[in-house]
C-alpha cells in the first residue's frame, strides 16, 4: 500500500530535491504542509520533521475528475519527506492501490498506474 525509501540526505536536502524532481517530471507542487513546524507551534512535543507535498499533474487530474468527480477526495497526490529515528524517508500511498479501493473503473486504474510510475520516479530521483 505504501512506497517508501530511506535516504542518506538531510531532511532539508531531500525536501528540496523532491520539489525539483516533481517539477522535472511534469507535475507541480500545489502546497507543502510542514506538519513538524505546525505541531510544535501548537505546543506539541513533536521532535521529528514531516513535510507533506501536495503534487498534481493537471492533465491526469482532469482525466480522473472527468470519469468520476467524487475522486476529488483522493486528489491531489501526496508525497511526504519525514524523519524517523534519525533517518530521513520519502514516501507515499501508492495511487494505483488507493484508487482501486475506491473505484473499479478501468480508466481510473490506467491513470492511477501512470501517476504511480511518475511519482515513484520522483521519489527515487529525490532519494
Q: What is the pTM of this model?
A: 0.94
Per-residue DSSP letters for 92-112?
EE-HHHHHHHH---HHHHHHH
What is the rounded CA–CA span in Å between residue 125 and residue 68? 31
Chain segment 90-125, per-residue pLDDT in tens: 999 999 999 889 999 999 999 999 999 999 999 999
Rounded to the nearest 10°, the torsion over CA 70, 107, 21, 120 is: 100
Domains assigned to the chain:
2-126 (3.30.310.70)
Cell of 64: 480522473
Residue at grid coordinates 512535543 = 45
Amino acid at each position: 500500500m505504501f512506497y517508501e525509501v530511506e535516504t542518506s540526505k538531510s531532511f532539508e536536502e531531500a525536501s528540496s530535491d523532491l520539489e525539483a524532481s516533481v517539477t522535472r517530471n511534469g507535475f507541480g507542487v500545489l502546497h507543502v504542509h510542514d506538519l513538524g513546524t505546525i505541531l510544535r507551534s501548537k505546543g506539541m512535543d513533536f521532535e521529528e520533521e514531516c513535510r507533506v507535498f501536495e503534487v498534481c499533474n493537471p492533465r491526469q487530474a482532469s482525466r480522473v475528475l472527468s470519469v468520476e468527480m467524487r475522486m476529488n477526495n483522493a486528489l491531489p497526490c501526496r508525497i511526504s519527506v519525514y524523519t524517523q529515528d534519525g533517518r530521513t524517508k520519502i514516501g507515499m500511498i501508492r495511487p494505483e492501490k488507493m484508487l482501486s479501493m475506491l473505484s473499479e473503473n478501468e480508466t481510473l486504474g490506467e491513470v492511477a498506474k501512470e501517476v504511480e510510475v511518475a511519482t515513484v520516479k520522483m521519489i527515487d530521483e529525490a532519494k
